[in-house]
Amino acid sequence: METLNKIETLEWKRHDTEWVSKREQEWLQVEFWLGTIKPLKKCMKPIRDYFMTGKMPNWKAFRDWDNPSRHLDLFVFLWLHPSRDRERLSRLCELYTSSTQITPSDIDVGVANLLDSQIIRATAPYKTMQRFNFPYLSGKGELLFDVILMDDKVCDRLNYLKSRPGFVASHIFGSYQWFPSVKKWLKLEKLLPIQMEMLLQYDQPLQWWFKGMEEDKDFFTLRGIEYSQDVFPLIAESLRLIYNFDFEAEGPSPRSDFVRKVLPLLDQCSIAPEVKAIWEDVKAGS
C-alpha cells in the first residue's frame, strides 16, 4: 500500500541512462529556482533525492524542524513528481493532505508557493528567463492548480486561514489584492514563457479568483479608508487596461484569452461594491 513514507516510483526511470542524464541537467535549473522559496541549503538534499529517485524524506525529522523552507511542501511534492497525469497527481495530493506525517503549514506553504510563483511573480517585468528565479512549470501550472485547489482538505485549510483575523499572507491567496499583478501583466511589452503561463488566464483559477472576491465583499470595509485609498488607484488602472484592451494589436495570446473571459465576469459577478463602482466609472470613461 502506498504511503507518504514510500510512494510508488515507477515514473522514475532510474535504469534509463538518458532519462537520468536529462533529469540531472534539469535539477541544475530546479535548484536555482528553489533557491528563492527554499533558501536553506540543508533542505536541498532531500528534495534532490526525491527529484532524482522518488525517495521520501525523513518526515519525522522534518516535522520536528519548524521552518517553512524545510522540505517537500505540497507544491514542490507534486511539481517535482515526473507524472503529468491528473488522476495520479490527485491521488498523491490526497495521500499528502491526509497524512499524519505532514503539518498544516506544509499545505499552507505549498499553496502559497504555487500561487505566488505562478500569479504574483509570473507578472514581474523580467526581460529574460535567465533572470527569473522562481519556478517555471513548463505547462504543468494549470494542472497543479486544478489538483491542489480542488482538494477538499486544501479548501478546508484555506477557509480556516482566511477566517483568522489579521491573516498576514492574505495577498497571496487572491481576492482584490491580485489586481496589481493583473495590471503588471497587461503592461508587459513581451511575454516570457513563464509569463505566458500566468494562471489567471485559465478557467479554474479565474473562476476561483472571482468566487473569492464574491465571498469577500467587505474586504475594503474591514481594512479601512487609508488602505483603500492606496489600493483603489491600482485597481482602477487594472480595470482600465482590461476595458481598453486592444485585441487587434495583441492578437491571439494568453492575455487576449484572459480579457475575453474577465470582461463578462466583471459585469455579472457580485464583487465588492467599491470595485463595482470603479468598474462602472471605467466603462463610462472616467
CA dihedral (102, 105, 109, 112) in degrees, to 10, reads 130
pLDDT score for 172:
60
pLDDT score for 167:
55
Instruction: Please check whether residue 258 is in contact with residue 206, taking contact to mean a CB–CB distance below 8 angstroms.
Output: yes
pLDDT score for 132:
82
Instruction: Please check whether residue 249 is in contact with residue 193, taking contact to mean a CB–CB distance below 8 angstroms.
Output: no
Q: Which residues contact 62 (CB under 8 A, 6 or more apart)?
A: 46, 70, 71
Q: Which residues contact 23 (CB under 8 A, 6 or more apart)?
A: 51, 52
Using the structure block, give the residue that is written with the C-alpha cell 505562478: 118
pLDDT score for 165:
63
Could you please report the per-residue DSSP string of the chain? ---SSS---TTS-TT-HHHHHHHHHHHHHHHHHHHHH---GGGHHHHHHHHHH-PPP-HHHHHHS--TTSS--HHHHHHSSS---HHHHHHHHHHHHH-SSS-HHHHHHHHHHHHIIIIIGGGS--SSGGG--S---TT-HHHHHHHHHT-HHHHHHHHHHHHSTT-TTGGGG-GGGGHHHHHHHHH-SS--HHHHT-GGGSHHHHHHHHHHHHTTTTHHHHHHHHHHHHHHHHHHHHHHHHHT--HHHH-SSHHHHHHHHHHHHHHHS---HHHHHHHHHHHTT-
pLDDT score for 129:
87
Q: Rounded to the nearest 10 degrees, what angle do helices 141-149 and 104-115 cross at?
A: 140
Q: Spell out the domain ranges in the chain.
A: 1-165, 174-286
Model's pTM, two decimal places? Answer: 0.92
What's the angle, vertex CA 184, arms to CA 179 and CA 187, rounded to 5? 125
pLDDT score for 216:
85
Q: What gap in Å lies between CA 57 and CA 283, rounded to an integer?
A: 54
Q: What is the pLDDT along the chain (286 residues), one digit of tens a residue?
A: 789 999 999 999 999 999 999 999 999 999 988 887 776 677 888 999 999 999 998 888 777 776 666 778 999 999 999 999 999 999 999 999 999 888 888 898 899 899 999 999 999 998 888 888 888 999 999 999 999 998 989 988 888 777 666 554 555 666 888 999 999 999 999 999 999 999 999 999 999 999 989 988 888 887 788 878 888 999 999 999 999 999 999 999 999 999 999 999 999 999 999 999 999 999 998 6
pLDDT score for 67:
67
